[in-house]
A = this chain, B = another copy of it.
Amino acid sequence: MSQFEQVTVVKKANIYYDGKVTSRTVIFADGTKKTLGIMLPGEYEFGTDAKEIMEILAGELTVQLPGSTEWIEINGTGEFTVAANSKFKLVVKTATDYCCSYIAE
């Protein structure tokens, strides 16, 4: 799906890490939410409230999931899931385009 139709988009960006990580919130007719974001090169840690499915649309990065000591490498496209109420780390090597889906459980 290359575009989302009949959605609501929040105008103001979500801005983290001095703008090195930013996203826009998209709300679907069923009330579910995704963010479309960009991460520039850097090291980041994020916490989740809901479970998150992170789809990498383009970029080079490594990801450390909660409770893991391993780093997952993504070059190009990829996807990973982060449990609710947890923290994950990212080392972003090139500008990375992502779509994050928030999953109610």
A→B interface (CB under 8 Å)? 1-13, 15, 18-20, 22, 24, 26-27, 36, 38, 40, 57-58, 94-95, 97, 99
Contact = CB atoms under 8 A, between A and B. Distances in A.
A6 B19 CA distance: 27
Contacts of A26: 9
Given A22-B95, A40-B40, A95-B19, A3 B9 contact: yes
B7 A3 contact: no
Interface residue SS majority, chain A:
strand
Given A38-B38, A40-B40, A11 B22 contact: no
Nearest to A92: B19
B36 A11 contact: yes
A21 to B, nearest CB: 10
A5 to B, nearest CB: 5
